[in-house]
Amino acid sequence: MNEPGTKGFRQSQAFLHTWSGLVLGWLLFAMFTAGTIAFYREGMNRWMRPELGRVEQPEKVLAGAQRFLSETAPDAQSWFITLPGGTSHGAVASWVPRPVEGEPPASRRDNQVTIGADGRPAQVRDTRGGEFFYRFHFDLYYVPWYVARWMTGIAAMFMLVAILSGIVTHKKIFRDFFTLRRGKGQRSWLDGHNATAVLALPFHLMITYTGLVTLMVTLLPWATVAAYSNDADYFESIYPGGVQAERAGRPAPLVDLGALLRDAERRLGGKAAYLEVSEPGDAGAKVRVLRSGATMLSAYTSRITYDGVTGKPVWTAPPHGAAVTTAGAMIGVHAGRYASPWLRFLYFLCGVAGAVMVASGLVMWTVKRLEKLPDPARPHFGFRLVERLNVAAIGGFPLGIAVLLWANRLLPVGMADRAAWEIHCLFMAWGAALVLAVVRRPQPNWVALLGLTGALLALLPVYNLFGTERGLIASLAGGDGMLAGIDATLLVFGIAFLAIARRVARHKPAERRARRRAAAMPAAAMEPAE
């Protein structure tokens, strides 16, 4: 009695799963891929600045940053120092000049320098590094941030619907996980899709739901609008500013930031990530220290403020309430900054599985429908559109990433707007892949794009051996596991892309069942009737 209704419900969920995964699947693939790389954004920050060595004495770097700012911007309104860590590329020292009447306010982004492991300003290539992948996976590029966050938020909701409906649709999904049939066309794609989906299913659910939580203020702004009169009041409730610096007009030496930092880390209960000095060189100076998100689960970190002259604490942020703590923990779980090296690697592997899951689902849409087309040689417009967008997105975006990494190595170091041009190179390569997908048949395009991506990725570690001082051998000899791991990963993915391109090149479509049945009909018709 219940079977027809059950079947109808499952079929409706299959329809929902198919179309919720397809409509924004190409955007989801780019988000998953960039977000997966962003788990190692600190490492990519270093890899894309090969001039910098590993920081082994953070105190030395901080002392160098304070010395540089004291000499370069003693009268600045404020200083900002991003503190170095074991995987960072050094300290970033920046300052905001005192405002001049009649001139627009200056930004600290226009006044910053990188302090290397030796405690001195380093001449490094201009690059966004791993920060680009982190920002791109929810802010995209070339579009206003609020538009991008609505787009990625809607895509994440579609992803959550696709995951939940997929669980309902595939009643034998866990059994099918242990089945992988090769060379079986649609069945093989479904097996691969199921395997990557089930293998990291808890991660997929977690990363999608917590991703929506990170965008909750954008997607559901009504609660904050009802409770707060403006955005400033809302952020003050989450990040209370505490005691503010007031300029006294009397010169006074700034406290040693190294000693102050050690005291702050003891009081906060973990390493610090960020330090801000307001009114440096003045008797009213204040120093604010923020705890690193890598030392705690919540993304809403604790902070403490000191008197900049005496070094005595004057304010400590109060504990967060239950709601803020819960939201901060979800955002922290999503970003994975708290993770140990092995847990971070597991995050990365699950992210790769997610990207493969989305890609295989998109390809499976075309494989499944190809067998049902009346004339596969002349498919309808919708099929051709999806088929070519698959080539452009799945084959083009990884190629763009490989081109960006090569642009990081080959563009002139002193080039104007160099960081922006690295990113432009990614989108130009991605755009070229789209054009290629439009003007050529899909099968040779898959081979060309996947093969070129594999070659570019595999050759990057080779170039690093001779073109930089941070090659794989040098990194291993120096005990620099982060850079060695990135080079090794590029080599592995390069070989994998080449292997996939080789398999696609050798693939021959299976004979259609309809044609086999049609060929058998004349023989059957010649048999005598009984």
Domain boundaries, the chain: 7-51+131-238+322-329+339-372, 58-124, 379-510
pTM for this predicted structure: 0.89
Q: Are 487 and 480 in contact (CB under 8 A)?
A: no
> Which residue from 123, 131, 117 is spatially nearest to 65, judged by alpha carbons?
117
pLDDT digits (tens, 9 = 90+) for 264-296: 999 999 999 989 999 999 999 999 999 988 888
pLDDT digits (tens, 9 = 90+) for 320-341: 888 888 989 999 999 998 899 9
Residue 5 has a pLDDT of 52
Compute the distance between CA of residue 321 and CA of residue 292 in angstroms, rounded to an integer. Answer: 19
Compute the distance between CA of residue 36 and CA of residue 41 in angstroms, rounded to an integer. Answer: 9
Residue 517 has a pLDDT of 46
Residue 367 has a pLDDT of 81
Residue 26 has a pLDDT of 95
Residue 170 has pLDDT above 90, yes or no: no
Residue 291 has a pLDDT of 92
- pLDDT tier, 70 (very low <50, low <70, confident <90, very high otherwise): very high
Residue 6 has a pLDDT of 53
> Which residue from 83, 103, 106, 105 is spatially nearest to 93, judged by alpha carbons?
83
User: Can you read off the two tokens belonging to residue 406?
Assistant: 């090569």
Over residues 247-256, mean pLDDT: 92
CB atoms within 10 A of CB 486: 25
Residue 248 has pLDDT above 80, yes or no: yes
Compute the distance between CA of residue 492 and CA of residue 481 in angstroms, rounded to an integer. Answer: 16
> Which residue from 483, 471, 486, 491 is spatially nearest to 86, judged by alpha carbons?
483
pLDDT digits (tens, 9 = 90+) for 110-167: 788 999 888 999 888 999 999 999 999 999 999 999 999 999 999 999 999 988 888 8
User: Can you read off the two tokens belonging to residue 404?
Assistant: 């960006």
pLDDT digits (tens, 9 = 90+) for 478-525: 888 899 999 999 999 999 999 999 988 887 765 555 444 444 444 444
Over residues 56-78, mean pLDDT: 92
